[in-house]
Amino acid sequence: LAKTTQPISMDSYEGQEVNITCSHNNIATNDYITWYQQFPSQGPRFIIQGYKTKVTNEVASLFIPADRKSSTLSLPRVSLSDTAVYYCLVGDMRTNAGKSTFGDGTTLTVKP
Amino acid sequence: NAGVTQTPKFQVLKTGQSMTLQCAQDMNHNSMYWYRQDPGMGLRLIYYSASEGTTDKGEVPNGYNVSRLNKREFSLRLESAAPSQTSVYFCASSRQGSEQPQHFGDGTRLSIL
């Protein structure tokens, strides 16, 4: 079971870069690492996904070290609207969907 | 751009009543999922359907049943509701494949008195 561990909460200020780290010591060979964002009263929304090294899209970057036992979501220049809960999900949804868990997430609060 | 649609959005039940939560997706996804989210906590997988015609238990399946009616629809049934099942229920869908992200509905808020 690819259990994940994230900080419960983080605070930041507008314009800063925010890095949220997720530990997943039991990651399996076929597992991908996926990050989701959730606003109150909404379902989670996909942010970024990776398998190894670095992935970048228009909203975030994902850094994965060679051993893949952790990953870091990087949000550049956050704004107030980035205040949300961020979840790291590790697993192979094709073969082990029942064994992939979200964990409790990291509540990011961006202050003016 | 409907994506994943859940009905109803809110429901209040009495202990022992039955209820079916509906979920439909219009993205031609093969895989569908049901999660529950308790206040201040993460999502826990109840059941999932990797493809039409198959269903499997997730982390917390007790007290629930599911039906994959067709490729578009995946329903969750509470046969005899209990207060411990008060939660927000999310349905999600994805393409098949370990790298495919899930797309979520906006949830059903269920209270059981």
**Residue-level pLDDT at B74:** 97
pLDDT in tens, chain B (113 residues): 679 999 999 999 999 999 999 999 999 999 999 999 998 888 899 999 988 889 999 889 999 999 998 999 999 999 999 999 999 999 999 887 656 788 999 999 999 99
Distance in angstroms (rounded) separating the CA atoms of residues B2 and B6: 10
Please state, in angstroms and as integers, the Cα–Cα distance from residue A52 to each residue in A25, A27, A66, A89, B7, following that order: 14, 12, 7, 14, 38
The answer to whether the CB atoms of B98 and A92 lie below 8 A apart is: yes
At residue A2 the predicted structure's pLDDT band, cuts being 50, 70 and 90, is low
pLDDT over 60 at A98, yes or no: no
Highest mean pLDDT among A22-31, A57-66, B38-47, B51-60: A57-66
Of A52-61, A97-106, B11-20, give the lowest mean pLDDT range: A97-106
In Å, how far is A82's CA from the nearest CA of chain B? 18
Using an 8 Å CB-CB cutoff, list chain A residues near B40: 104
Q: Is A30 on the interface with B (CB under 8 A)?
A: yes
In this prediction, residue A28 has a pLDDT band, given cuts at 50, 70 and 90, of confident
Asked if A102's CB is within 8 angstroms of B98's CB, the reply is no
3-state secondary structure (DSSP) of residue A97: helix
Pick from B98, B104, B109 the residue to mutate for testing the A interface (most A CBs within 10 Å). B98
Q: How far is CA A96 from CA A30, A111, B11, B112, in A?
A: 10, 38, 31, 31
A102/B44 Cβ within 8 A: yes
Q: A48 vs A104, which has greater pLDDT?
A: A48
CA angle A45, A20, A70 (to 5 degrees): 100
- Find chain A residues with C-beta within 8 A of B41's C-beta: 104
How far apart CA B16 and CA B14 sit, in angstroms, is 6
Q: Select the residue of A41, A44, A94 nearest B104 (Cβ to Cβ).
A: A44
pLDDT at site A84 = 97
- B48 vs A105: CB contact, 8 Å cut-off? no
Q: What are phi and psi of A64, to 5 degrees?
A: -130, 115
* Structure token digits, residue B108: 């059903």
Mean pLDDT of chain A: 89
